[in-house]
Amino acid sequence: MQWEKHAAALADASTDSGSRWRPLVAAVPRHRFMPRWWHRRGDAWALHDGPSDEAAWAQHAYADRSVITRVGPDHADLAEYGDTPAGLPTSSATLPSLVVRMFQHARITDGCELLDVGTGSGYGAALAALRLEEHRVTSIDVDAYLVNAARHRLDRIGLRPRLEATDGTGTLLGEYDRIVATVAVRRVPPSWLAALRPGGRLVTTISETTLIVTAEKREDGTAVGRVEWDRAGFMQARAGSDYPDTLPDGLRDTARHRDGDSITGSDFPVLDIQEAWDVAAMLSIEAPGTVYGFDETDGCRVTWLAHPDGSWARASSSGTGTTVVHQSGPRRLWEVLNGIRGYWLAHGELPVRGARVLITPDGRTRLARGSWRAAL
């Protein structure tokens, strides 16, 4: 494959003119980091093999988009034709513009020691190793196969940063000036602050949200910063081969189809929460662990929510008709959602974006903006 022209076009599409990251994106053969990948087909996933179709390989590898390389425990590299795994993605080659933005949030300077949490395909480690001297870059991932594959692919293009298979939320070796996580966490692991040098900068995302948190470590061991106005979504950090289902058996089906203990009307219209990013972020803070879905068929819009404590809600409406809400369980999830929407209407925006951040050495994260306070 004549990849150079594709990489140059990707650099133009994914970086700003004059960015020092632009020539680095143009210098990395991204296709080598994703020789096989999964593509969603209905409720399952279909396997694609790059070398057998170079045109499709170039199209996927050099587009500014994420490409799924692992579903559940199934690596695309190790799959056989005809395999159709069902489940959630557990690793990907992240879209290059987002990798670059995360590094830009880190304010990387010459001589920094960088910890890249979430090796994945190894593409981000390649960019970091070109930006810094390669011995200053350490990349870690919980998945030993991914780490070994990334090491081999990096070596093939002449890059040898330090790679390690380890739980990124556990004990870390070494000290770093920058820590950039391309996996999401609910609570900042204490080991991250312990490994970050005073004056060092942490960049991560909060799981179940699109919130990017940046913070600088102080001499007292705390870190202070803010929730950026930028947005990003990453897969949640995992300790095992897949994500456990946190909802009780059958609760999704109950939320979608059954009558609730409470049946009421609502002045708020049905909302596709997945597409309302700031609302979704606030819902995750107010009721962490809530799962939701949306469907629109023949003019009928339906949103459902479910929580591990057994609470669930379903709201539906047809055309301009009244929204009908079914709810059951120890909390009323639709009322939680409506409280968030009411705040937005009253104040013109939600407080979480742009909030100040304080992270204590034990990993507790506190958010504040104006009179609003929250703890993760």
pLDDT digits (tens), the chain, 376 positions: 899 999 999 999 999 999 999 999 999 999 999 999 999 988 889 999 999 999 999 999 999 999 999 999 999 999 998 899 988 899 999 999 999 999 999 999 999 999 999 999 999 999 999 999 999 999 999 999 999 999 999 999 999 999 999 999 999 989 999 999 999 999 999 999 999 999 999 999 999 999 999 999 999 999 999 999 999 989 988 877 777 778 888 999 999 999 999 999 998 999 999 999 999 999 999 999 999 999 998 889 999 999 999 999 999 998 767 899 999 999 999 999 999 999 999 999 999 999 999 999 999 999 999 999 999 8
Q: What is the pLDDT of residue 159?
A: 98
CATH number for the domain whose boundaries are 3-231: 3.40.50.150
CB burial string 321-336: b at 16+ within 10 A, e below: eebbbbbbbebbbbeb
- Residue 70 is predicted with a pLDDT of 95
- Each residue of 324-342: pLDDT tens digit? 999 999 999 999 999 999 9
Find all residues with CB under 8 Å of 146, minimum gap 6, and list them: 70, 75, 91, 119, 120, 121, 122
**pLDDT, position 245:** 77
CA 16, CA 291: separation in Å to the nearest integer? 36
pTM: 0.93
CB 285 within 8 A of CB 279: no
The answer to whether 183 and 118 have CB atoms below 8 angstroms apart is: yes
How many whole angstroms separate alpha carbon 127 and alpha carbon 82? 34
**Which residue intervals of the chain bear CATH 3.40.50.150?**
3-231
pLDDT at 147: 97
The Cα 37–Cα 59 span in angstroms is: 13
| Whole-number pLDDT of residue 234 | 92
pLDDT value of position 322: 87
Query: Exposed, middle or buried by CB within 10 Å (0-12, 13-18, 19+), for 126?
Result: buried
**What is the predicted pLDDT for the residue at 238?**
81
SS3 349: coil
306 contacts: CB under 8 Å, gap ≥ 6: 247, 251, 252, 254, 255, 290, 291, 292, 312, 333
Token representation of residue 80: 């056989």
Cα(92)–Cα(118) distance, integer angstroms: 10
pLDDT in tens, 185-240: 999 999 999 999 999 999 999 999 999 999 999 999 999 999 999 999 899 888 77
pLDDT at 244: 77
Write out the residue limits of the CATH 3.30.160 domain(s) in the chain.
Answer: 251-347
Q: 251-347, which class in CATH?
A: alpha beta
